[in-house]
């Protein structure tokens, strides 16, 4: 009798994986790792890095911002079509520990920065913390503000969105979700 029970147990253990449906087997597999592109950072060309840090770090709440002088051999000169005689200083800002160096500020001295204004070709969209207070501080800087409006996401969340134009002409859209 004991031998028969051992045989039945061994058969059950051996056969059970074979009896699982493909759908059940798929549920136990690890999810496939994402193989697509990864957004690393946005880079803004600015005329005054300290003025920009006062907005992006001090008002919007990005972290970091150590200013460094770039070498004349920096790839940025080629990428941004900068005059080799221009001076370039940079600051990298993070949006918390999972978004490290997600915003770069590049101060260009010795070459004017032009940003098209109509239509505005690019916008950064940022989730603001305490949007009314942030916009009070933006308004105090004398920046152009685009009136706020209600926001409804495709997932059914609600909140407010608004925007401003930074001193270098970059469009920054801010939002804060307040509903479910």
Q: 17-58: per-residue pLDDT in tens?
A: 434 444 444 456 678 898 899 889 999 999 999 999 999 999
Whether the full predicted model's pTM is greater than 0.85, yes or no, is: no
Q: What pLDDT score does 34 carry? A: 87
Q: Confidence class of residue 12 from pLDDT cuts 50, 70 and 90?
A: very low
Q: What pLDDT score does 116 carry? A: 87
Is residue 61 pLDDT above 60, yes or no? yes
Q: pLDDT digits over 153-165, tens only?
A: 999 999 999 999 9
Domains of the chain: 39-113 (3.10.180.10), 115-180 (3.10.180.10)
Q: pLDDT digits over 81-105, tens only?
A: 999 999 999 999 999 999 999 999 9
Q: pLDDT digits over 119-152, tens only?
A: 999 999 999 999 999 999 999 999 999 999 999 9
According to the 3-state scheme, what is the secondary structure of the chain? CHHHHHHHHHHHHHHHHHHCCHHHHHHHCCCCCCCCCCCCCEEEEECCHHHHHHHHCCCCCCEEEEEEECCCCCHHHHHCCCCCCCEEEEEEEECCCCCCCCEEEEEEECCCCCCCCCCCCCEEEEECCCHHHHHHHHHHCCCEEEEEEEEECCCCCEEEEEEEECCCCCEEEEEEECCC
């Amino acid at each position: 009798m004991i031998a028969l029970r051992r045989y039945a147990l061994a058969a059950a253990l051996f056969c059970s994986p074979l009896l699982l449906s493909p759908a059940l087997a798929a549920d136990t597999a690890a999810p496939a790792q994402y193989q697509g592109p990864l957004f690393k950072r946005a880079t803004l060309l600015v005329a005054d890095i300290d003025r920009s840090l006062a907005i992006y770090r001090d008002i919007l709440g990005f972290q970091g911002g150590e200013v460094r002088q770039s070498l004349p051999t920096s790839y940025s000169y080629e990428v941004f079509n900068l005059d080799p005689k221009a001076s370039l200083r940079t600051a990298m800002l993070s949006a918390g520990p999972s978004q490290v160096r997600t915003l770069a500020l590049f101060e260009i001295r010795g070459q004017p920065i032009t940003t098209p204004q109509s239509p505005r070709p690019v916008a950064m969209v940022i989730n603001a913390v305490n949007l009314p207070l942030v916009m009070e501080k933006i308004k105090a800087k004398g920046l152009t503000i685009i009136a706020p409006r209600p926001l409804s996401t495709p997932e059914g969340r609600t909140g407010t969105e608004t925007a401003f134009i930074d001193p270098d002409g970059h469009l920054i859209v801010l939002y804060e979700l307040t509903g479910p």
